[in-house]
Amino acid sequence: MSIEVTGLTKRFNRFTAVRDVSFQVKTGSLVAILGPSGSGKSTLLRIIAGLETPDSGDVKLTGEEATSLAAKDRNVGFVFQHYALFKHMTVEQNIAFGLKVRKVPKEKINQRVSELLKLIQLDGLGKRYPSQLSGGQRQRVALARALAPRPRVLLLDEPFAPWTPKCAMNCAIGSPACMKKPK
């Protein structure tokens, strides 16, 4: 299993955002968590990513206990609902950010950025800043940034809402393949 969640509960004071949630997601699966606004979907994703600590329950990623791991040690890509792009960086710099932090050689960074720009259909726009892009384009950059370090798990918080149906389908189909390490 890529993700195994057992008995997760998260409270904020008296409000219970996530109550005793358990599920498994197999490697290579694309799964959607559906529910109304305020039902705990984003909180659940934040717990899996290590950005929130559950009050109870466990998270395993690719078979390894992850509940107590820091977010930086989980190798989880996360596309936030509001993109969270660096406004002072170009599209290319945003995508390359996680690779630079991991000290990947510049040649490999450039190759990966180019590959991802093609995947998200923004090749030719790498020198632009987020403010020069549409909402859908910004979200695709956020997806590419999350995919760049080839995470073992990719979490998307309302990922395809602003996209055209064709682009959403291309990226949904291409995302699992894009996460795999090159041969």
Domain edge (last residue) among 23, 45, 74: 74
Residue that the structure tokens 């705990």 belong to: 40
Which tokens sit at 27?
């490697």
Higher pLDDT, 164 or 59: 59
Domain edge (last residue) among 74, 101, 124: 74
Q: What is the pLDDT of residues 101-137, one digit of tens each?
A: 899 999 999 999 999 999 999 999 999 999 999 888 8
Cα–Cα distance, 16 to 10 (Å, whole number): 6
CATH code, domain carrying 55: 3.40.50.300
Residue 182 has pLDDT above 80, yes or no: no
Residue 130 domain boundaries: 85-151+164-171
CA distances from 54 to 26, 35, 49, 83 (A): 22, 20, 11, 24
